[in-house]
Amino acid sequence: MVRIFIMFVGFGFSVAGGISLLAYLNLLTLGYEFSYYMRFITTRVEFYLFILGVIMVIGSLAIPDRRK
């Protein structure tokens, strides 16, 4: 039950962060370079929220269950 909760919370974090990162891709259409985009998103909370969410989802799926 805890694994399902962690997976759903991680999924929510990764969706919230991923949508924001996709929205920030509009900086490229304004003429900014990709290197500037990468430096910009590493300073944003959404990037770390996305990474944390992906780690939580992978962790909840990869860690074996204690029950046999």
pLDDT tens digit sequence for 42-66: 999 999 999 999 999 999 999 877 7
**CA dist., res. 29 & res. 3, Å (int):** 40
Which of the 8 DSSP states describes residue 67?
-
More confident residue, 66 or 16: 16
Residue 39 has pLDDT above 70, yes or no: yes
31 occurs within a structural domain: yes
Residue 68 has pLDDT above 80, yes or no: no
Tokens of 50: 């996305």
Burial of 50 (0-12, 13-18, 19+ CB in 10 A): buried
26 occurs within a structural domain: yes
Domain that holds residue 50: 2-62
- The pTM of the full predicted model, rounded to 2 decimals, is 0.84
Buried b / exposed e over 2-24, threshold 16 CB at 10 Å, is: eeeebbeebeebbeebbebbeeb
In the chain, the number of structural domains is 1
